[in-house]
Amino acid sequence: MATEAEEYVGGVPIIVSLSKTDCTIMEEPPSLSYLLPRTTALMAIRDDVQKFFSPFIAAQVDTPLLVWFTYNNEPVPWQYPVGAIKDSIIALKLCEGSGADVPFLPDTVAALPSPAELNPHSFTVPLLLEARVTCVSSDKPLGVPCPGQEDNTACRNSEQTVRDYLKQIMKGTFSAMYGSIKGIMDARNEVINDMLNFALCTHMGEPLVQALRAHNERMTVLRRTVRNFSNVAVMINMPLANKFMHFALFRVPASTCMASQGGGSTLKGGDFRSSISSVEQSSGIVESVQIGQSVDGNDGGMGASNATVVADDCNVTFGEIIWRALLVPWCRRSKQAVPDGAPADPAAPFFQALSRFYEGMNDYVALGGVVSSSQAGVLIDKFISCSNAENDADGIYVTSSTAPTRRQRLGFVVQGTCPPLQTPVKYLLERFTSADGRLYVTFTVF
């Protein structure tokens, strides 16, 4: 990958307008414009939006207000970083065929261009959002938490409540990756405050690139102080799903990966739900998937605390993490009988495109969630190799299930980039994780 990735963050232009539903005057107020780092949580602009649009709303200003965003009337889960939200919206457009560009590629572009090179307009246009400003008693969007608003109390301001909410998410990430939150709880207050400030894009006081560099250095020291990660926390989004902007949270035990194994061993996973913060479970914002859990619910009998620590020079690849994260969902789908007349499954084309990389995994259920190293290794190598293939015969393609039928290449986007699947995941974790500590991956076609 390019050396610029050492300090890559990217920016997302955002234009926020007030929803006509909540506007009480004939002339609509002007829109708000932002340019936010991709790693910033969307809730960072909540207070600005509320203050700016308050004079124009129907709700009484002296009553507790609820502020949330929509995209094409779909509530936006604003606990995610803006880069992940933008990626999921672009992916949906490309899958529907509404965002495809007519690319102009110079001769210097590689034979296998990235989604951004093929669709430059889609990746550069501003993210257009509508702000909804309503009373707390009004109907709130399901699955979209509004911390600091629905639990509004006189003794706590909204900014502190949002920071506490994000801190709980960060604790959940730390627990998922290291098996404990001790490291983050033992960290100095300025380290935690730095993480929160970066997530909310506040109080930096220096150019973004310098702030990013300082943030990455502090996080590297914190990770080394704790120990090497024993699990990878990855958020995966699949466009055309029922909630296309929602990401599913996976924990992949690194001890199950090929780089940490001697040959011929068997692999099991551990309990995952205990690693998710209570605030996320209660709000229903994550669809947790336990890696190593069989489809019939048997967890294999191995807890996360027993995971083997990976060596510092861990070379677990990005492709292997994706393959293992999707193993359980693929098995579940392969065992489900689709009744006649049932509506089409929007995610089915993606799993169909990946089916050849899970051949023989149907027995995963019967084996109680056990996979042999050699069996998995062959399939993972095939998956990584085909993702880089330049010919149609070997490449990974998604065929749409709706008319007009389209056949498009499958890609995996991380913060606006499309890293090769052979990239060490540790490299991505150190450079492309969002401010909440998670790696956001969006399936896309191009």
Task: Give the tens place of pLDDT for each residue, 390-433.
Answer: 777 788 988 876 656 778 889 899 988 888 999 998 888 877 88
Has residue 207 got a pLDDT over 50?
A: yes
pLDDT at 383: 94
Percent of the chain with pLDDT over 70: 57
Has residue 295 got a pLDDT over 60?
A: no
**Paired strand residues for 75:** 70
92 and 237 share one domain: no
Task: Identify whether 186 is part of a domain.
Answer: no
pLDDT at 226: 64
pLDDT at 12: 86
What average pLDDT does the segment 75-83 reach?
85
CA dihedral for 188, 191, 195, 197, sign (positive or negative): positive
pTM of the complete model: 0.78
Has residue 379 got a pLDDT over 80?
A: yes
pLDDT at 267: 39
157 and 287 share one domain: no
Using the 3D structure, point to which of 124, 143, 165 is the last residue of a domain: 165
pLDDT tens-digit series, residues 85-127: 999 888 888 877 655 444 444 444 445 556 666 666 666 788 8
Using the 3D structure, point to which of 137, 165, 193 is the last residue of a domain: 165
What average pLDDT does the segment 339-343 reach?
66
Task: Identify whether 179 is part of a domain.
Answer: no
pLDDT at 55: 83
12 and 138 share one domain: yes
Has residue 331 got a pLDDT over 80?
A: yes
Using the 3D structure, point to which of 165, 181, 208 is the last residue of a domain: 165
Q: Are 233 and 261 in contact (CB under 8 A)?
A: no
Give the three-class secondary structure for 275.
helix
Has residue 441 got a pLDDT over 90?
A: yes
Locate the DSSP E strands across 108-208. 127-135
DSSP string, 365-431: TTTTS-EEHHHHHHHHHHHHHHHT--STTTS-EEE-SSSSP-EEEEEEEETTB---TTSBHHHHHHH
Task: Identify whether 393 is part of a domain.
Answer: yes
Please report where in the chains the tokens 């969007």 appear, as a residue: 141
139 and 267 share one domain: no
pLDDT tens-digit series, residues 306-318: 223 333 335 789 9
pLDDT at 245: 80
Task: Identify whether 195 is part of a domain.
Answer: no
Task: Identify whether 441 is part of a domain.
Answer: yes
119 and 254 share one domain: no
Q: What is the mean pLDDT of the chain?
A: 71
For residue 83, with 0-12 CB atoms within 10 Å meaning exposed, 13-18 middle and 19 or more buried, which class applies?
buried
Side-chain half-sphere of 157: how many Cα atoms within 13 Å? 4
258 and 134 share one domain: no
157 and 234 share one domain: no
Domain that holds residue 65: 3-165
**Residue, of 44 and 143, whose pLDDT is higher:** 44
Task: Identify whether 34 is part of a domain.
Answer: yes
Which CATH number fits the domain that encloses residue 65?
A: 3.10.20.620
| Rounded-to-integer distance, Cα 380 and Cα 358, Å | 9
Give the three-class secondary structure for 77.
coil
Residue in 408, 406, 412 with CA at minimum distance from that of residue 444: 412
Q: Supply φ then ψ for residue 266, to 5 degrees.
A: -110, 155
242 and 124 share one domain: no
Q: Are 416 and 91 in contact (CB under 8 A)?
A: no
131 and 279 share one domain: no
Task: Identify whether 188 is part of a domain.
Answer: no
161 and 244 share one domain: no
Percent of the chain with pLDDT over 90: 9
What average pLDDT does the segment 173-185 reach?
74
**Residue, of 359 and 142, whose pLDDT is higher:** 359
239 and 358 share one domain: yes
What's the total number of domains in the chain? 2
Has residue 266 got a pLDDT over 60?
A: no
291 and 420 share one domain: yes
pLDDT at 240: 61
Has residue 367 got a pLDDT over 60?
A: no
Task: Identify whether 192 is part of a domain.
Answer: no
214-218, 289-293, 435-439: segment of lowest average pLDDT: 289-293
Give the list of residues 6+ apart from residue 103 with CB closer than 8 angstroms, or none.
113, 117, 118, 119, 120
